[in-house]
Amino acid sequence: MLYWAFFSLAVAIIAGVFGFTTIAGTAFMIAKVLFFIFTILFVVFLFFGFR
């Protein structure tokens, strides 16, 4: 899941550089949501001691 967050962030940066602001904004929001989901799952698994 973290891979997809970084991939979406890379798409957002590339789209922003080339001026595609709508695509960049959408990709950035997807990256942000995936990153927060990953972070929450990481903390939950860390708390419960799962591997």
What is the model's pLDDT at position 36? Answer: 94
Task: Summarize the confidence of residues 22-29 as an average pLDDT.
Answer: 90
Instruction: Please list, in sequence order, all residues whose beta carbon lies within 8 angstroms of the beta carbon of residue 28, skipping any fewer than 6 positions away.
Output: 8, 9, 12
Q: Tokens at residue 27, please? A: 């990709």
Tokens at 33, concatenated: 């949501």
- Alpha carbons 27 and 45: distance in angstroms, whole number: 27
Question: In whole numbers, what is the pLDDT of the chain averaged over residues?
Answer: 88
Which helix (H) or strand (E) segment is 19 a member of? none
Please report which confidence band the pLDDT of residue 49 belongs to, taking 50, 70 and 90 as the band edges: confident
- Which has more pLDDT, 48 or 51? 48
The pLDDT value given to residue 9 = 85
Three-class DSSP category at 39: helix
pTM of the model: 0.72
